[in-house]
């Protein structure tokens, strides 16, 4: 990693600066479907928030914009002070790799890799040599309670263990932001609760976390909730606090 890829250091003022800021961000997919319509959203360092809404309401579209996996059709997205529109694809990838960890409902683990090697892939583009990658992967797996599963392949683990492996991969590079898209969607309630607890623990250590969910019960355990319907943000329990 190089210093030119670092975001601005957090200010020391009373309010931490936003780590993600969307201004009137819209996404129109080819064919003309407006999946996100003028979203204004500001997320501050250290926040833990839920993004809730029914299937098809635009949650994943919003997360993809927040995570710089996609660019808005209009409006702006800033991540750690970088205006996404002003970065080349290469710089954008670098910002994403350095600062953002992703967790998805379907885990996206490589079936042929052991847990430790799956997690180590989270450091592939960080200029870290193979042995250090594996050492840090082992530490990340210990952090998620899987120190005893280092050599297991995905099919040798439960759904909850697979998702915790995916979380270890998301956090192995020390991201400032973790974006989770329906992280408990494929899990039974006990495994899901363990994953939610893990996200709370990560947040307590300072990571900013946004969790997409259509599970109202899960959302109710998080300090801030953003509700989206038909591509529009309809409610934000922290809208006043961050205005």
> In the window 47-66, what residues touch ligand ADP (CB under 6 A)?
53, 55-61
Q: Which strands sit side by side in the sheet containing 48-52, from one edge to the other?
A: 100-104, 177-181, 208-213, 48-52, 224-229, 232-236
Residue keyed to tokens 């038909």: 230
* Cβ closest to Mg ion, residue 52 vs residue 128: 52
Binding residue count for Mg ion, defined by CB under 5 A: 2
Q: How far apart are CA 27 and CA 73, in angstroms?
A: 5
Residues 6+ apart with CB under 8 A from 32: none
> In the window 54-73, what residues touch Mg ion (CB under 5 A)?
59-60
Helices in the chain by DSSP H: which ranges? 59-66, 89-99, 115-120, 130-143, 159-171, 189-204, 216-220, 239-242
Minimum CB–partner distance for residue 214 and Mg ion (Å): 9
Does 68 engage in binding with ligand ADP (CB under 6 A)?
Answer: no
SS3 51: strand
Per the CB < 8 A criterion, the answer to whether 43 and 224 are in contact is no
> Pick from Mg ion, ligand ADP, none: which does 35 bind, CB < 5 to 8 A by kind?
ligand ADP
Minimum CB–partner distance for residue 58 and ligand ADP (Å): 4
Q: How far apart are CA 54 and CA 135, in angstroms?
A: 40
Alpha-carbon torsion (124, 91, 30, 63), positive or negative:
positive
* Cβ closest to Mg ion, residue 144 vs residue 178: 178
Does 33 engage in binding with ligand ADP (CB under 6 A)?
Answer: yes
Does 29 engage in binding with ligand ADP (CB under 6 A)?
Answer: yes
Does 184 engage in binding with ligand ADP (CB under 6 A)?
Answer: no
* Cβ closest to Mg ion, residue 59 vs residue 98: 59
Minimum CB–partner distance for residue 194 and ligand ADP (Å): 23
> Pick from Mg ion, ligand ADP, none: which does 33 bind, CB < 5 to 8 A by kind?
ligand ADP
Residues 6+ apart with CB under 8 A from 21: 41, 42, 43, 76, 77, 78
Minimum CB–partner distance for residue 35 and ligand ADP (Å): 3
Does 163 engage in binding with Mg ion (CB under 5 A)?
Answer: no
Summarize as ranges the residues that interact with Mg ion (CB under 5 A).
Answer: 59-60
Summarize as ranges the residues that interact with ligand ADP (CB under 6 A).
Answer: 29, 33, 35, 53, 55-61
């Amino acid at each position: 990693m190089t210093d030119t890829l670092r975001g601005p250091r957090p200010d020391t003022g009373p309010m931490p600066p936003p780590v993600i800021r969307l201004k009137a961000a819209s996404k129109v997919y080819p064919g003309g479907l407006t999946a996100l319509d003028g979203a204004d959203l500001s997320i501050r360092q250290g926040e833990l928030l839920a993004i809730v809404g029914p299937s098809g309401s635009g949650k994943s579209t919003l997360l993809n914009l927040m995570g710089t996996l996609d660019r808005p059709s209009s409006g702006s997205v800033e991540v750690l002070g970088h205006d996404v529109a002003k970065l080349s694809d290469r710089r954008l990838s670098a910002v994403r790799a350095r600062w953002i960890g992703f967790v998805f409902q379907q885990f996206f683990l490589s079936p042929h890799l052991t847990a430790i090697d799956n997690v180590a892939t989270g450091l592939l583009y960080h200029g870290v040599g193979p042995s250090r990658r594996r050492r840090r992967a082992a530490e990340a797996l210990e952090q998620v309670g899987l120190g005893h599963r280092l050599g297991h392949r995905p099919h040798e683990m439960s759904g909850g263990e697979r998702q915790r492996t995916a979380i270890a991969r998301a956090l192995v590079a020390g991201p400032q932001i973790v974006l989770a898209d329906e992280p408990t969607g494929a899990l039974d309630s006990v495994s899901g609760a363990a994953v939610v607890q893990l996200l709370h623990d990560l947040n307590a250590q300072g990571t900013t976390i946004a969790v997409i969910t259509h599970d109202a019960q899960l959302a109710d355990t998080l300090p801030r909730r953003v509700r989206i319907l038909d591509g529009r943000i309809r409610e934000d329990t922290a809208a006043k606090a961050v205005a």
